[in-house]
């Protein structure tokens, strides 16, 4: 498998990969029914393109298929800045997509409540936003490698803090195995409306959203 940076020339193919995989079977997308039967959500796609435009997203491609560029998996990494939450909440207010609203109300509310900028006095955070592997390539360590290379990329770009909103038990396990720690979590059955109804009926075995973080400490050079 070859791992490379995603450039603007790959955006269409990455979105096509996401429509067939992430939008269809990531736990929150599935619960909200955002994309059914290969359909998609314009707002969700815009969210993905915005992450790719930060230039730190990666894709796994089979070497023999480079010509046709069959994507086996992607990780979309964006730069998260403190002012982004306010802008995101304004965007959410304007959204007419009920599924998108349910998912992003949960994510933004969780991130606002657990203010990493205040806690760690950083201006920007390397945000691992979308981790997705084609269903026919799962179980071969591709997601593990995408997260490993994302950590290396964050280090190379001088970030001292990484975060991920991991929505299912498998992604949570993957992040923890790369040194991420749970900062906060939200059980799905406790995310309810005013009448006590569960807003996102996420299927088992996924039971909670986890906000995971990883610090990168500068290595001290040994003194002569």
Least distance CB 175 / ligand ACO (angstroms): 8
Q: Is 39 in the site for ligand ACO (CB under 6 A)?
A: no
Contact letters (x/-) for ligand ACO, 164-203, by CB under 6 A?
xxxxx-xx-xx--x--------------------------
Q: 81 vs 178, which CB is nearer to ligand ACO? A: 178
How far apart are the C-alpha atoms of 27 and 23, rounded to whole Å? 9
Strands 124-133 and 161-166: parallel
The helix/strand/coil state of 172 is helix
Q: 60 vs 92, which CB is nearer to ligand ACO? A: 60
Contact window for ligand ACO (CB under 6 A) among 22-30, 104-112, 118-126, 183-191: 22-30
Beta carbons within 10 angstroms of residue 117's beta carbon: 18
Least distance CB 160 / ligand ACO (angstroms): 20
Map the footprint of ligand ACO across residues 123-142, applying CB under 6 A.
Answer: 128, 130-133, 138-142
How far apart are the C-alpha atoms of 49 and 99, rounded to whole Å? 19
Provide the token pair at 138.
């799962």
Q: Is 148 in the site for ligand ACO (CB under 6 A)?
A: no
Provide the token pair at 217.
């400490």
Least distance CB 59 / ligand ACO (angstroms): 13
Least distance CB 12 / ligand ACO (angstroms): 19
Map the footprint of ligand ACO across residues 46-85, applying CB under 6 A.
Answer: 73
Q: Is 26 in the site for ligand ACO (CB under 6 A)?
A: yes
Nearest to 101 by CA among 158, 168, 44, 161: 44
How far apart are the C-alpha atoms of 64 and 175, rounded to whole Å? 29
Q: Judge contact between 6 and 14, C-beta under 8 A.
A: yes
Q: 75 vs 92, which CB is nearer to ligand ACO? A: 75
Query: What pairs with residue 73 in β-bridges?
Result: 60, 133
């Amino acid at each position: 498998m070859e791992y490379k940076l995603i450039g603007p020339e790959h955006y269409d193919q990455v979105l096509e990969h996401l429509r067939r995989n992430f939008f269809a079977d990531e736990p929150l997308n599935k619960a909200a029914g955002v994309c059914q039967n290969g359909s998609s959500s314009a707002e969700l796609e815009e969210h993905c393109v915005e992450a790719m435009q930060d230039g730190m997203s990666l894709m796994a491609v089979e070497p023999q298929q480079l010509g046709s560029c069959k994507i086996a998996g992607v990780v979309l990494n964006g730069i998260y800045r403190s002012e982004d939450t306010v802008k995101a909440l304004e965007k959410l207010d304007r959204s007419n997509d009920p599924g998108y609203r349910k998912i992003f109300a949960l994510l933004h509310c969780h991130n606002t409540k657990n203010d990493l900028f205040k806690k760690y006095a950083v201006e920007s955070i390397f945000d691992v936003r979308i981790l997705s592997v084609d269903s026919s390539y799962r179980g071969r360590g591709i997601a593990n490698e995408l997260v490993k290379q994302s950590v290396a990329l964050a280090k190379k770009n001088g970030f001292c803090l990484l975060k991920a909103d991991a929505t299912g038990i498998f992604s949570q396990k993957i992040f923890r195995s790369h040194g991420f720690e749970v900062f906060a979590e939200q059980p799905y059955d406790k995310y309810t409306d005013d009448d006590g109804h569960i807003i996102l009926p996420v299927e088992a075995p996924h039971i909670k959203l986890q906000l995971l973080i990883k610090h990168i400490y500068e290595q001290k050079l040994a003194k002569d």
